Structure 1
Amino acid sequence: MDDLELPTEEQMQAMKDEINKVVQEEIKQKKFDQLLDKLTPHIENIVLKYFTYLSQYFRAKEYKFNPTGLVTVNTQQEITGTKIFDKFSIKDGTANQLLLANGETVDVGDYLPKQFPHAMGQLIVEPDSDIRNQGLRLMKNKANWDSFVLTGCNVDPENRDGVWKMGSTSSQFRIQKQEDQAYDIKGLVIDFDCISLKFNNQLVAPLPSPPIDYAIYQSIAYGMYEHLIWGTLTAQKDRVYISLLITHSDPNTLTESGYTMFSIVNDDIKPKFTGTQHNIPINAVMFAQKVIGYPICWNGAIPIDCFIDPQGHVKINTQCQLHLPDDFCVQFCDSYAIYNQSS
């Protein structure tokens, strides 16, 4: 034991350092184990996500997935296939616009589709590519309720020659030439209430009750030797009716020629002619024997020629040229047309 040497101070320090080192290593190992226990779940989760990503990545590579096929904003893209959208709108678009297949927009009023019968415009029916054979044009205008069918259309739609227009306005139904459309009275017109029918503003139906044409008594003029015993001269419609008994008394009657018994006063009922004027015969009988004591009783009936001339003078004896007595009586019973057609 005497030979046992005590370690030196340096040796003691070296052993102390060695012990401390071992202790520190144990402490570090223990902390590492604790830390590893804590980090293991997180590491496993990260590794799982990483392998999931790798799996998706290689699957995308396998099916050649192209992320550029996604629809993106602010880029010009061409989309193929069928796409269904709940709603589609045009930037700054209005309810009166239609989107065409080429991307342009037009006003709804430029078309007249059957789904929108109130659209303003017109529809032209063409049997072939030659516009001259279009034949039929349909028009509808919401602004004034007009709706028409046009037939016989020309090459130039503005050319209205020979075009007939049939349809309704807000107040009537018309059939008229299109060139007369500015005139409400032209053509065949049925009023809004379907009560009257007019053609060129002349009432066709219902026919008005014809006015009562009263016979009008007319005045006559006769000479100082003539006297009206009885009868009248009347005008009704376009005809004059004569029923008169006129006497003549002149002690100095010396005539074997025509003699005027009376004249028409009203120029409106004097005979009128479309061509050459002529005299119109009138039935007349002359009585040459007066019955004494009976002013209106005459005997000795003699048929005698009589006529009315265009000036309205009624004359006798122009053809017979009898020697007229001082006293005689003439009975007139006939009628004549005011308006006469002559060559």
Structure 2
Amino acid sequence: MTLDTDQTVTGYKQFIQSIQAPQFIKTNGTNDQLLLANGGTADVGDFLPKHYPHAMEQMIIEPDSDIRNQGLRIMKNKANWDSFVLTGCNNDPTNTDGVWKMGSTSSQFRIQKQEDQAYDYKGLDIDFDCTSLKFNNQLVSPLPTPPVEQAIKQSLVRSMYESFAWGQVTTYNGRGYISMQVTHSNPNTSSSSTYTLFSIFKDEAKPQFTGATFTIALNAVMYVTKQSTNPILWTNAVPIDCYIDVDGHVRINTLCQLPLPNDFCVQVCDSYALHNQSN
């Protein structure tokens, strides 16, 4: 064999020194085969690495019969137990725009934007025991049980000429509730203007206002005839204006301007918001 002419090797030739050439061509060989040392060939796919940094085709993972080995397994970091998968990645690994991060920490499973990875409270979190779900640190499930609010009976202030036949004033869940029968008895009553029935003692039960204050109208009926046989039975109902003001005073007769009799009874049954805002 000579080095300066093209020649065809027939049969078996043995070389005792290394051979160097621009290429080796196997007869009938294809571009998806590898030439083995024993003279045989093997498919290129049999020797591809298991990691495809720029693979464009579909990767299929076929699990075996052991459920513990099914699917893609990603080990946790031994230092901090973190184990995450990133989707929507960019060519530049430092570019986190549009990249989502999902995986587990030592205490929770988390889905969040990679740009928020410095904030462990951002994103969707399932706790380690799988008993609670949070979004941006707000509990989603189970829903927190709202605290039980108790209705509070309020103390009232009245004049010497008024008495409370029945009823009470209570506050509950941001509102004040009035259900009262107030009787008035004064042999020298001489009024045809605003008259105060009673006042609420505690500030937290009085109407609060953001902006300018105003009066809140209440439903009320005045009775002017008392039945002698029953101390709480009154007749001859007369509708009358009534309101509560910012100081907690419940007053009547501001608009009607009726001449009030010496003896009368007023029933007030209504509610009002504890927190109010003017335009």
Mark yes or no: TM-score above 0.5.
yes
Structure number having the greater helix percentage: 1
Tell me whether 1:221 sits opposite 2:221 in the alignment: no
Distance of 1:306 and 1:151 partners within structure 2 = 66
Deviation at 1:207, TM superposition (A): 2.0
- Range that drifts further, 156-165 or 293-302: 156-165
**Cα-to-partner distance string for 1:194-227 (whole Å, 9 max, x where unaligned):** 1111223332112234443332212222222221
Quote the residue 1:243 is aligned against: 179
- Range that drifts further, 233-242 or 267-276: 267-276
Quote the residue 2:32 is aligned against: none
RMSD: 3.6
Deviation at 1:188, TM superposition (A): 2.1
Larger radius of gyration: 1
Tell me whether 1:167 sits opposite 2:84 in the alignment: no
Q: Tell me, what secondary structure is at the counterpart of 1:310?
A: coil
- Give the letter for the 2:163 counterpart: H
Quote the residue 1:277 is aligned against: 213
Q: Tell me, what secondary structure is at the counterpart of 1:268?
A: helix
Query: 2:85, 2:103 within 8 Å by CA — same for their partners in 1?
Result: yes
Quote the residue 1:230 is aligned against: 166
Structure number having the greater strand percentage: 2
**Cα-to-partner distance string for 1:231-277 (whole Å, 9 max, x where unaligned):** 11112212222111111222332222111211222322322344443
Distance of 1:65 and 1:201 partners within structure 2 = 73
Query: 2:156, 2:198 within 8 Å by CA — same for their partners in 1?
Result: yes
**Cα-to-partner distance string for 1:29-58 (whole Å, 9 max, x where unaligned):** xxxxxxxxxxxxxxxxxxxxxxxxxxxxxx
Provide structure 2 residue ranges, at least 5 long, that are not aligned to the other structure.
1-12, 25-34, 38-48, 57-73
Query: 1:144, 1:170 within 8 Å by CA — same for their partners in 2?
Result: yes
Query: 1:139, 1:148 within 8 Å by CA — same for their partners in 2?
Result: no
CA distance 1:162–1:309, change in 2 (3 Å): farther
Distance of 1:241 and 1:336 partners within structure 2 = 7
Distance of 2:55 and 2:183 partners within structure 1 = 84
Query: 1:190, 1:196 within 8 Å by CA — same for their partners in 2?
Result: yes
CA distance 1:321–1:150, change in 2 (3 Å): farther
Deviation at 1:306, TM superposition (A): 0.6
Provide structure 1 residue ranges, at least 5 long, that are not aligned to the other structure.
1-62, 71-76, 85-112, 116-122, 128-137
Distance of 1:182 and 1:260 partners within structure 2 = 62
Q: Larger relative contact order (C-alpha < 8 A, sep ≥ 6)?
A: 2
TM-score, normalisation: structure 1? 0.56
Distance of 1:317 and 1:189 partners within structure 2 = 60
Alignment of 1:201-212 (within 5 A): 201-212=137-148
Percent same amino acid among aligned pairs? 62
Distance of 2:53 and 2:254 partners within structure 1 = 76
- Range that drifts further, 299-308 or 260-269: 260-269
